[in-house]
Each structure stands twice: as structure tokens, then as C-alpha cells.
Amino acid sequence: MKEKIKYKFEYIIYIFFMILSMVFPLFFLQILGKISGIIFIVFSKRKKIILKNLNLIFPKKNFFEKIKILISCSAHFGRVAFEYLKFSQKNNLIEKKVKIEGIENLKEALNFGKGLFIVSAHFGNWEVAALALSKKGFPQGMVYRPLDNPYLEKALSLRRTLYGNWLIQKKGALKQILKDIRAGKIIDILIDQKSIPEQSFKVKFLCQETYIISSLSKIVKLTDSAVVFLFSYPEGSGYRVVLKKPIFYKNETEIELTQKYADILSEEILKFPHLWLLHHNRFEILKN
């Protein structure tokens, strides 16, 4: 009963901010989001997690450098949370505010005819990037973990699928992913989340020995599908979405492929750490 009341209360808060996003312009929501993100981290236990992650990733940076990243990261993801309500409404903001580079790389990978994985991380604004691509005519199956709150889950699902994207729940996703890939479709997957050892390969990610999901490399090896990495970078009140050159399977082992993918993510996150979601215990081993 208490859980249901909590979910309804969270949903009321969501409705309030959704109405707010319909009334106020994007720049106001972004400023409000940045301020809220900083206030949240000041009073949240998650600042310890962020600093713990930064100590692991950047052992040579001093305390003040890490605090600067912590503040920038918190402000960025506060912005992300607030602006998504505006970007995911039926309007022309995406055309105005999101620039996409590398569409030719996407087309090259699709022309290969073996399906395509768009691979990224909780970096920049991956949700807006997915909306922008689908609105551009490249809908994707988005692999995700449903929210615990059923009311918020339904609301967010409607926004994610606004322009033709479809959702694939992470648990038991393999069958649907294989079906879509073999049909030549696009699958959008984030590979920076924690994963249990039984479903992963141990590789180096952000200079740490850790686990990365093994399913991507296994499916690539099985289907010969292409992989295109996507990164999004804030530019003013908008974003620059970059699609990297396609990666084609070249008889690597599954663990070699997984390490290759981890290296690509690591390189970008090390350059722009404040754009990566540092708020989770990423390097702790999950158990069943």
C-alpha cells in the first residue's frame, strides 16, 4: 500500500513538471534543471558514489578537479531530466536544436544488410538522440529496463516511442533482438550498465577491470551485423549527435569485440567525464 502511494505521489510530481514544461521555454527548463541537479547532489548520498568513481577513474586528479567534474555532471543530468519533457513533446524543437553528424555512416551500415546496432552509454542526452534519429526516419528498438513505478513507466514509454521507436525489455530481450536484427532493423543498446558475471565478459573499462554485457558481441558474431557508436554533446541549448564510422565483424573473438567496444566508450568518457552518468556504483560486481 505504501509503495502504491509513493508511486502515485511520484507521478503527481511528474505531471506537475510536465505542465511546467508546456508553459516555460526550453532555456528556462535547462537552467532550472541545472540548479536542481546541483542542489540534489549537495544533499544526496550519491555524491560519495560520484567521488568514489572519480577516484577510480582519475587517481591523479586532485580533489578540486574532481569536485568540478561532480558539479558539472550533476548540473548536466539535472538539465537532461528537465529538458527531455520539452524535447519529447510534439513540436519542432528537435529539428531546431539537434544536429546530427554521420548519417552517411548509418546508411552505410544499413546497406550492409545484416541489421545494425547503435551503441552508446548514459552519456550526453541519449534519449533525445534516439528521438532525433527516429524523427529523421531511423526508428530503433530500444533495449531498456522498465521503471519500478508503473505510472511513470507508461508515461515515459509513450514519449520514447513518439516517432516510431519500439521498446524491448532487457530481461528476455535476446529473442526479439535477434528477430529484429535478422529483419535488417536498428537496435539501440547502452552497454555501460552494470552486468552480472554470468552474462558478461571481464574487460578493461575506464582503466578498471570490470564486467560488460556479452550479448552484443555474441549477436554480432552470430549475425555479422554492423555496429555504429553514437555520442551526443550539448551545444548551447541544443545537442550535436555524432554517429561514428560503422564497425564490421572481422573474425574477432567475442571477448576481443567486447574489449573493442569498451575501449571506444572509455575514450569518449575520459575526454568528457561530466557527460557520463557517474551516479551509480558501476564498478561493483552484481550478483544474481
pLDDT digits (tens, 9 = 90+) for 193-241: 888 899 999 999 999 999 999 999 999 999 999 999 999 999 999 999 9
E-state strands within 41-165: 98-101, 116-120, 141-144
Average pLDDT score over residue span 119-125: 97
Q: How far is it, in rounded angstroms, from Cα 107 to Cα 101?
A: 12
Q: How far is it, in rounded angstroms, from Cα 277 to Cα 41?
A: 13
Joined grid coordinates for residue 172: 528476455
Burial class (CB in 10 A: 0-12, 13-18, 19+), 48: exposed
Q: How far is it, in rounded angstroms, from Cα 181 to Cα 163?
A: 20
Element (H or E) spanning 223, and its range?
helix 215-223
Residue 63, pLDDT score: 97
For the chain, the domains span 2-275
> For residue 285, what pLDDT band results from cuts at 50, 70 and 90?
low
